[in-house]
Amino acid sequence: MSKPIKAYIPQGSDPLIEKFINCLMKQGKKSTARRIFADALEMIKTRTKEPPMEVFSKALLNVTPLVEVRPKRIAGSVYQVPVEVPPKRQQALSIRWILTAARTRKGVPMAHKLALELLDASADQGSAVKKKQDVLKMAQANKAFAHLAK
């Protein structure tokens, strides 16, 4: 198999990494999620010259949304109102979008899919970045309703 996980991800190391691993985890299998994350970082290390943690943080930064649309009901009509995204939600959305994009890829193990998605996101490509751009376009298209935001 691969090298020991503790060498790459010390438990309780970085709250962002722990949050990512918790979101990656399915059915309470944290050790499996840790191994998938460590293997993904290992694949990133072999494919690029950059440190894997820099690729990870750059990917999260590139996927982080600044604005989103929220539905607001006024006089029987529902308007999509653009609002700024709070920092905690920015982090949660970026993690969720990266994991969703990785899970929708087919034909390879999850660690490989996650590594590919992180590499794509760090290069401003891939499904997660496209999702961010779609949300931004929708917010810009509904800029006329910005005055309805509270």
The 10s digit of each residue's pLDDT in 29-70 is 999 999 999 999 999 999 998 999 999 999 999 999 999 999
> What pLDDT, in 10s, does the model give residues 99-149?
999 999 999 999 999 999 999 999 999 999 999 999 999 999 999 988 888
Contact criterion met (CB below 8 Å) for 60 and 16: yes
Helix (H) or strand (E) holding 99: helix 87-104
What is the structure's pLDDT at 11? Answer: 66
The confidence band for 5, taking pLDDT boundaries of 50, 70 and 90, is: very low
Helix/strand/coil for 72: strand
> What pLDDT, in 10s, does the model give residues 10-31?
666 789 999 999 999 999 999 9
Domain housing 130 = 5-148
What is the structure's pLDDT at 119? Answer: 96
> What pLDDT, in 10s, does the model give residues 76-107?
999 999 999 999 999 999 999 999 999 999 99
Rounded Cα distance between 45 and 9, Å, is 14
Contact criterion met (CB below 8 Å) for 38 and 10: no
What's the CATH code of the domain at 49? 1.10.455.10
Total structural domains within the chain: 1
Report the chain's mean pLDDT, rounded to a whole number: 91
The confidence band for 7, taking pLDDT boundaries of 50, 70 and 90, is: very low
What is the structure's pLDDT at 9? Answer: 63
